[in-house]
Amino acid sequence: MGETAIDTPVGPRARPVRCARCGVPVDPLRASRVAIFNERFRYFCSAECRESYDPATRETPLPMPKRRRSPTPAAEVLATRAEAAEALDQRRQVAALADVATAEIAPVHDASHLDALSDREGDALHEPPGARAELADGADRADIGALLLGLCIAGGMLSVALSLAGSSPGALTARLVVVCVAAAALIAEGITARRDPTEPHPGVLLAGPIIALGVAMAARAANAKEGNAAATLAGIVLAAVAAGIWLARRARRPLDLERDAIAEALSRPGRRVIGNDTATVRALDLRPGEEIVVEPGEVMPVDATITAGSGRVAPWLGAKTSVMRSEGDHVVAGASVLDGRLRAVAAWTGFDRAWMRVTNDPRRRADLFASGARVGRLTAERAAPLAAGLAALAGYAEDQSPLVIAMFAVAAQSALANAGVAQIGALHMMESVLLGLRRGIVFRSAEALDKAGRVSVAAFCARGTLLLGEPEVANVEPIGDVEPERVLALTAGAEAGESNPMATAVLRAARVRGVRPDGVRSPSVQPGLGVTAVASSGQQLVVGSRALMLKERISVAAAEPKILELEAMGRTALLVALGGRLVGVVGLQDGLRPGARAAVQHLLDVGVEPVLLSGDARETCEAIGRALDIEHIRPEVLPADRGDEVRRLADGGATVAVVGRSPGDDVALGAADVSAALSSAGSSTAEWGIQLASDDVRDAAYAIRLAHRAKSEARLGLLLTLVPGVGSALGVAFALLPPAIAPLAAVLGTLAALFRLRAREG
């Protein structure tokens, strides 16, 4: 019997798409039916699927922003750049052709591969082309590099061990052959290895071993008496340099893995809103100002501000808790949506995202640009040649032979040109950044991390940080023959048009007690002081602080004992005057935030002086300060005046940090050397040095403590790596120690510093 020929489509092919009705993979160039819905092409595998397709039942409507009472301030949303807007318009015009236009065209001889290709579509969105190949190539290079370093260490140690065979010319020649093999392995590793930017230049590390090998060969050629010592020095220098590189890379590996995990998690695709539909795109293709939709179980691909919908969210990558997020809230890239559907506008994308900024951006990495990271690298690259020159001069002054002078120089150079010296500071800086990210703490830049490490004074804008910011009416004290209900009614009437925490507390108390707010007219808000108005009786009504009463020439002498009593209990006294006479006092109690005392203790542990900034009276602030162990208070400072107060704190030479909330504390935050803003991570307008994904004041204080520890640990680590090498190099220069001791001491210093780093991680 003859075989039946099967027609196989020949010609160009495109990446397959799913049938809009049944989900079967379809070649868009050969689809049975094509239709346009919502400005996008839909492909169908058959006429039946096209006829039965109903877009209304197959697509969940997108959450739409609610109508606002007032326009959203322009500052709340980062304006899209002109080129981004133009690109967005172009995408809308060609959205229908997106699946075909981006497809790779290639000849087709068999259509059986469509299912396999379709299954890989999701992976293609997670990483750029070639990413897997680059990762595999990097792993292969790492394995080869480790093998070459091991060969170099073994060769160096073997050459030293062969010194036991004697000092005959043959034995010395054999040792030099082993040293040459070890040097070749080290040079090959320097050429082939993928160098991390935190590592010193390969030439700095290779200079010592190559010069040491040259000195040993020159000594052998001249049959000099220093031949054995030179060969021993060459072997030890090779082994020490290779061991330093291996130890530093091994210590950096957990940090690199965590950085890579962050980059991988933030590379997941997002859903860009196009009209009434969405298109799945790579996270790197999203631009500021574009709208996205995030479904339950998905990860936020960019830093964004929610414009519609609400749901429970794990607020940052790896967060152990969940919070409710709704319209107007900021969410960082990497946050997981646990339930609910969110629509948001992208604020920061690409390397500008909070979790990518100082971990993966080559222009802003903390382990590259923080001062604690740079000093070690500069020491290895610039101080090592200087040390070699000084050692050579010392040898010359001692009238040593040229070979001995060269050995002195090699020993001094190898003591400083060590991978441990160059990278220990960078390791501490990146470790601190990653520790912060695990708690939702973001340092905006390496400079912000440096400044936070120099903070000596930290000022808290009391309400909303150390205090809950949710006061309650504790008591209503009438003065004279006025009823308490009348005092509360007048206060509620004056505060009816306000939305601050104190007004909310007064209105809530009136509602609970069944008191109807007085029908006041012509309210006038005095920022930070209170409200003046006209009561329903036609008399002037003044509700606010003691300062407002004095401004309105109203005596408070009759209520002074009661006011002092309330303030001594840490309560805020709200004074009420009617017709130029004080008629009552409303006492409000704001509780301490959970963790407020721990936040203060974090600062005290690193020698930072906490300061309480508040608009309350001195007695109230002193009571709060006693409860929190804060001695330095700045009372009766209005929010608008706190910037000047912060600058006065800095006039004495202190580096001042301010912990507050945006936008209420923007004036104080903007005046600080280091600004720490609660719940600001992901905001399109936030430029604060320390941004928190949570509203926990402990995290703000912990960020400052973390920066202090990073600075001190980087310095201590550098000292641990330098002191043994420098001390031994001095001993060599003055002919007190053999040259081979210096590189060995440098390795021991690196081990000590890395053991301390590991202990801190544990």
pLDDT score of 11 = 52
Q: What is the pLDDT of residues 318-333, one digit of tens each?
A: 999 999 999 999 999 9
| 651: CB partners within 8 A, 6+ apart | none
How far is it, in rounded angstroms, from Cα 716 to Cα 620?
42
Q: Report the alpha-carbon distance of residue 495 to residue 475 in Å, rounded.
A: 17
Least confident residue range of 9-23, 306-320, 367-381, 623-637 = 9-23
Q: How confident is the model at residue 54 (pLDDT cuts 50, 70, 90)?
A: low
Per-residue pLDDT, averaged over 178-199, amounts to 91
Segment among 97-106, 202-211, 480-489, 576-585 with least mean pLDDT? 97-106
List 524's β-bridge partners, or say none. Answer: 532
Label residue 33 by pLDDT band (50, 70, 90).
confident
**Is the pLDDT at 743 greater than 60, yes or no?**
yes
Number of H helices, E strands in the chain: 27, 28
First-residue to last-residue Cα distance in the chain = 75
pLDDT, greater one: 749 or 32: 749
Cis before 65 (ω within 30): no
The mean per-residue pLDDT over the stretch 667-678 comes to: 96
Residue 1's pLDDT is what? 41
pLDDT tens digits along 223-267: 888 899 999 999 999 999 999 999 999 999 999 999 999 999 999
Average pLDDT on 422-430 reads 96
Cα–Cα distance measured from residue 475 to residue 683, given in angstroms and rounded to the nearest whole number? 39
Residue 714 has pLDDT above 90, yes or no: yes
- pLDDT of residue 108 exceeding 50, the answer is no
Dist. CA 623–CA 616, nearest whole Å: 11
From 161-165, 175-179, 296-300, 401-405, the region with the lowest mean pLDDT: 161-165
pLDDT in the model for residue 192: 86
Distance CA 9, CA 113 (A): 13
pLDDT reading at 3 higher than 70: no
Facing residues of 330 across strands? 305
Q: So what's the pLDDT on residue 74?
A: 40
Q: What is the mean pLDDT of residues 440-451?
A: 96
Between 678 and 497, residue with greater pLDDT: 678
Average pLDDT, the chain: 85
Across the range 286-306, mean pLDDT stands at 95
556 has a pLDDT exceeding 80: yes
As a whole number of angstroms, the distance between CA 236 and CA 243 comes to 10
Distance CA 682, CA 353 (A): 8
DSSP type of residue 194: -
Q: Count Cβ atoms within 10 A of the Cβ of residue 109 and give its class: 0-12 exposed, 13-18 middle, 19 or more buried.
A: exposed
Percent of all residues in the chain with a pLDDT value above 70, rounded to a whole number:
85
Measure the CA angle with vertex 711, ends 633 and 706; round to 5°. Answer: 60
Listed range (46-55, 170-179, 290-299, 306-315) with the worst mean pLDDT: 46-55
- Stretch 181-203: mean pLDDT: 91
Closest CA to 725 of 733, 159, 229: 733
* pLDDT (tens digit per residue) in 337-360: 999 999 999 999 999 999 999 999
Q: Most confidently modeled of 43-57, 65-79, 165-179, 597-611?
A: 597-611
**Other residues' Cβ atoms within 10 Å of the Cβ of residue 685:** 18
Q: How many CB atoms lie within 10 A of CB 524?
A: 10
**Nearest one of 395, 432, 426, 428 to 410, comparing CA atoms:** 395
Q: Please, which residues bridge with residue 33 across strands?
A: 44
Instruction: Specify burial of residue 641 (Cβ count, 10 A radius: 0-12, 13-18, 19+).
Output: middle
Residue of higher predicted confidence among 7 and 696: 696
Burial of residue 654 (number of CB atoms within 10 Å: 0-12, 13-18, 19+)? middle
pLDDT of residue 684: 83
**The pLDDT of residue 193:** 81
CA nearest 567: which of 501, 637, 495, 624?
A: 624
Determine the 3-state secondary structure of 98 from DSSP. helix
Q: What is the mean pLDDT of residues 579-593?
A: 94
Please state the rounded mean pLDDT for residues 437-465.
96
pLDDT at position 269 over 50: yes
Burial class (CB in 10 A: 0-12, 13-18, 19+), 73: exposed
Share of the chain above pLDDT 90, in %: 71
Rounded-to-integer distance, Cα 434 and Cα 263, Å: 13
- Tell me the whole-structure pTM to 2 decimals: 0.80
Q: Could you give the domains of the chain?
A: 11-61+88-119 (no CATH), 134-262+362-429+711-761 (no CATH), 270-354 (2.70.150.10), 439-467+593-709 (3.40.50.1000), 472-589 (3.40.1110.10)
The DSSP secondary structure of 651-667, one letter per residue, reads: TTT--EEEEEETTTTHH
